[in-house]
Homo-oligomer: A and B are copies of this chain.
């Protein structure tokens, strides 16, 4: 990959500012849990695995104030479970010094990168050769410590010599597909075709797509998967077109406390994400807004869940446990 998403240097967590892409490549430095939490809330960094890594460094940075730091990081974004998972790992570290916690955060990041590469290898085998791959949002190197989950599958499939045209939903309202996925793939020399989310169903019906691959923010024990808003209708459209629908995510995204998708909290975001475009108001004054950031795709529409430990197939209540992917 030709960019870095987050790294620790000179006493600060460095974050590639994803609000500025693709127009500008800028770095934000965070030196405390509060600053990391703010960066997560404001989407300087986003993507479940990436914010898990960022939260780990945030907790290390505020080691002297461990419990408060943990709370502020947990509250930053409620849907992705990776933040909780990373913080629970750090809570087991002794002593709770900056050095020990930072070393564990480094491990979280290194393991995430290794997990993405393993997900890529497992997922690449599932990708049909000579057909399109459709993805939603950005489950790429920008959403992880690097390489990506869904885009890790794309990278590994391309690296293995498979010919797959990549199609990216623009992903309203925040346009992660247009702003991030297109930029990220073109940086690596992988051509990509962008489409409005509403056009995905037509594209799937056209026969050009061999599979859909998306990431996940939280996976329940039965396989129900919370991911970026628009994933669920995409799964419905893939199902209607008979196209396989794959979720690619590290096991840190599995939530053993969630029996089904109904147990996953869904974050709602600001109305201005919908009423304004590029800082200009586009919707009439006085309109109300419904703007959930995530939706839940029922397990029955998911053909497989690709983790770093292997590929789980339905019924997920059994296979996620059997493969050891579920702790």
Cβ B229 vs Cβ A196 within 8 A: yes
Given contacts A198-B172, A230-B198, contact A178 B291 (CB under 8 A): no
Q: Is A199 an interface residue (CB 8 A)?
A: yes
Q: Is A75 an interface residue (CB 8 A)?
A: no
**A residues 39-88 in Cβ contact with B at 8 Å:** none
Q: How many copies does the complex hold?
A: 2
Cβ B233 vs Cβ A179 within 8 A: no
Report the separation of the CA atoms of residues A321 and B233 in the bound assembly, to the nearest whole angstrom. Answer: 33
Q: Is A122 an interface residue (CB 8 A)?
A: no
| Chain B: minimal CB distance from A110 (Å) | 29
Cβ A182 vs Cβ B236 within 8 A: no
One of A27-35, A151-159, A186-194, A305-313 at the interface: A186-194
- Interface flags for A273-303 (1: CB within 8 Å of B; 0: not) read 0110111111111111111100110000000
Cβ A179 vs Cβ B283 within 8 A: yes
Which of B196, B229, B287 touches A186 (beta carbons < 8 Å)?
B287
A interface residues (Cβ-Cβ under 8 A, vs B): 22-23, 167, 170-173, 175, 178-179, 182-183, 186, 191-203, 205, 229-230, 232-233, 236-237, 240, 266, 274-275, 277-292, 295-296
What are 22 of the A-B contact pairs (CB < 8 Å)?
Answer: A23-B281, A170-B274, A171-B198, A172-B196, A175-B282, A178-B275, A193-B289, A195-B290, A196-B197, A196-B229, A197-B197, A198-B229, A199-B229, A199-B230, A199-B291, A201-B295, A202-B266, A202-B296, A203-B290, A236-B236, A236-B237, A236-B240
